[in-house]
Amino acid sequence: MKVFKTGAAAAVAVTLALSATACAGGSGKSGGGSGDGAGKKDKLVVGIKFDQPGLGLKTPDGKYTGFDVDVATYVAKELGYEADQIEFKQAVSAERENLIANGDVKFVVASYSINDKRKEKVDFAGPYFLAHQDLLVRADETSITKAEDLNQKKLCSVTGSTSAQNVKTKLAPEADLQQLGGYSECLTGLENKAVDALTTDNSILAGYAAQEKNVGKFKLVGLSLSNENYGIGLKKGDKELQTKINAALRKMVQDGSWEQFVKKNFGPANYKNEPAPQITEGS
């Protein structure tokens, strides 16, 4: 009986060891990852916008499209991850820093403008795109050619938008500012002539104007009311990842992929984009 007990105990020990090994192989927070894509079980969790056509959009069939999605996919591949190893997580503007700090995502690619306040909480790689605040108007609009023309006109943006306040306080104080829940609502108002212009980053405006259902209906005025350098947000102090992402961004520009992504996502809006910006973060 003693021999039997010893053998049973050994079998249990082996079983437990195998179970622990199996669990260890697939454990760890998916947002963290190994950084090199080793092992098909690994997932790279990336934060993107789900509601911005041309930049980051989750379509009704569950697919993801947009410039930021293409950039994120390219960077992930350079880090060693295939497309089926990427898990996209919604990163609304107010939650981007929290997602990074908590390790819920490895990095964020979500029209994420680099500024000093944000750099107190996260680090950035890039920038990979330079946008400007602009105005979107109806295609047949001829009376709005500069920001000052918005005085006495109805200007739409989303609630809490810094873009709208920039126009209202500095450029056209007599504009009738309409703040709605989302850019799509502003676009509907613009089409129905309930408002005269919509303001935010030109990349976001171009994304909406480039949608198949909107082609030919709207146009960008072509102003540069502010400079918005989009960066890839990552955990503060992760210099290794920052260096790897910067290298991927440089390669993306050099091999022509960056220009291809721009034309693919913004081309139908006749968007005149800036050249790819020089990478300054981490250097």
Q: Sketch the domain layout of the chain as residue ranges.
A: 44-130+229-269, 132-220
The pLDDT value given to residue 108: 98
The pLDDT value given to residue 104: 97
* Between residues 162 and 238, the one the model is more confident about: 238
For domain 132-220, the CATH class is alpha beta
Residues 6+ apart with CB under 8 A from 232: 71, 75, 107, 108, 109, 112, 124, 125, 126, 128, 245, 249
* Between residues 266 and 239, the one the model is more confident about: 239
48-59 average pLDDT score? 93
- State yes or no: pLDDT of 281 exceeds 90: yes
**Rounded distance, CA 236 to CA 100, Å?**
9
- Whole-number percent of the chain with pLDDT over 90: 68
Q: What is the mean pLDDT of the chain?
A: 86
The pLDDT value given to residue 92: 87
The pLDDT value given to residue 78: 97
The model's pLDDT over 3-25, given as tens digits with 9 standing for 90+, comes to 444 444 444 444 444 444 444 33
- State yes or no: pLDDT of 216 exceeds 80: yes
264-274 average pLDDT score? 83
Of 91-95, 169-173, 264-268, 277-281, which has the strongest mean pLDDT? 277-281
Instruction: Please report which confidence band the pLDDT of residue 32 belongs to, taking 50, 70 and 90 as the band edges.
Output: low
**Rounded distance, CA 72 to CA 64, Å?**
11
For domain 44-130+229-269, the CATH class is alpha beta
Interior angle at CA 72, CA 118 and CA 42, nearest 5? 105
Cβ contact 197:153 at 8 Å: yes
Number of H helices, E strands in the chain: 9, 12
Quote the pTM value.
0.78
Is it true that 44-130+229-269 and 132-220 share their CATH fold? yes
Q: Where are the alpha helices (DSSP H) in 29-175?
A: 67-78, 96-101, 116-119, 162-166
The pLDDT value given to residue 181: 80
Q: Where are the alpha helices (DSSP H) in 120-238?
A: 162-166, 183-191, 202-209
**Rounded distance, CA 63 to CA 117, Å?**
33
What's the token pair of residue 148?
């000052």
How many other C-beta atoms are found inside a 10 Å radius of the C-beta of residue 41? 11
Residue keyed to tokens 């990163």: 91
- State yes or no: pLDDT of 65 exceeds 60: yes
What's the token pair of residue 140?
């047949």
How many residues make up the chain in this entry?
283
